[in-house]
Structure 1
């Protein structure tokens, strides 16, 4: 017999995290724990406000499947009980962790990998005035990749200022649905001139069919438009890269399946995250193996991280210690 518990936690950010939809000063996460005998599995997730989720809703969803989880439901059964989202992510990752600990192996072994290699993450520069974004970029100019948030009238000036402040860094630009198609056609050639490697979700999800047939000079990445394999066929006609986040897919199980299918359809893969602690990042390191882009900088944006957390040197993330996850 198992025991299930879930709780909300708040983690203060090092600085305000600002995107086109708003700003926040703390990360609010949900941690699910499943105990079976001497073993405990944990998973962490973040309610996705963009899709109407709240922390209370996530906790209520977890409570709603308590009897099934405690009776021994596995990950396949979990996917029948809950739709994709933060609640399923927390439980799915907790089940992976529990299964690995009960088997005495690492979670990546269960996923069919012989080892887990370190990965390099990009680092996010919040939306702001061009001068402020340039200052943040200068402070992080030795990182191999920077991701800058846009969504205002000074977008081009901001990207140019960041490029000048960090001339050697690879740049990702993330619009979070803030552009119109006219904006995109105007800005994309300029971003290409500034050697931007990727442009994430320029248009609003649900309004991106216009991208079919559009030859963007900068590769486009689907984020808000892509949750699970159900949206993949449409996204493959509009984007070059799939941004896979465990809170969107509803856990590691679907994330691995989505990554494999995306590659099979010719899409490149980005593994992304919400702002959260190392416990949320650790499962994502498995699909991040071999990914074209990795954005798992959540712990770097916190004032302090969970202990034990991931060992991160600069932008290089080491595999998780077993005490953390997996």
Structure 2
């Protein structure tokens, strides 16, 4: 299938999670999904240690105008991490991953990016996917059609013919965006929620192109600026978050919000631990099976950092663990073996 493997050798760039976990946030936290039943080997991982053109396989410049900049900078929030900082005020510029140049056959495509918009610019993300004579291009804009933080469909057709729709998050904050494309539909997911926020019908566009590219595709409008933490992609299929977990190399402890909780080990055979080091006061933990039946309920007392759940008597399968501490609420998908 033309799989490409590029796992980071410098693991000091990001502190890797030692627990395999799945987190589905309720309060806008970045979420993480990883489970052996879903994890696959097809990811290619760009982590902004070098400019995209120096990556292997290299990105190419595309639609390059006259006024743009690209820099690798140290993450101000994590000295062990680097970011790709892009600015393109009024002209166009893309980084293009050309599958044809790398003898990669694209069946369907999944692209995931962690991005934070630059407050000085309107556009935080412009992604163009074009292969097998189908094309979807979208831009994430802070103001479009009098709507803040909007998805603008540039190539393709939005729901009921719409050309835009709400993104539902602040583009000037860190978020993870997943795009999956087949001949029938392109789906957009935010922060690894398994529910897509928009479905787009790709444009029929006969071409020899076989690529995805990100940056700014407009040369006359919509000034673009953003920081990019990483980009990962898989050309073997269109995978939702639950179908293909993000690679562990892009999951870091520092990516959690300061008040977030996490669980492990996943999968588990007996004991599951809910880690909540920043909880304040009492917490409530409930475990549901996939039919929605409550199978366990635990009330923690005081400022505990970890709660143990005995899962040994439960049948094998998937469970939802709901953690609530004050106004903070999170859900975790857990596999019991």
Same fold (TM over 0.5): no
Larger radius of gyration: 2
Whichever structure has more strand as a proportion of its residues is 2
Whichever structure has more helix as a proportion of its residues is 1
Q: Normalized against structure 1, the TM-score is what? A: 0.30
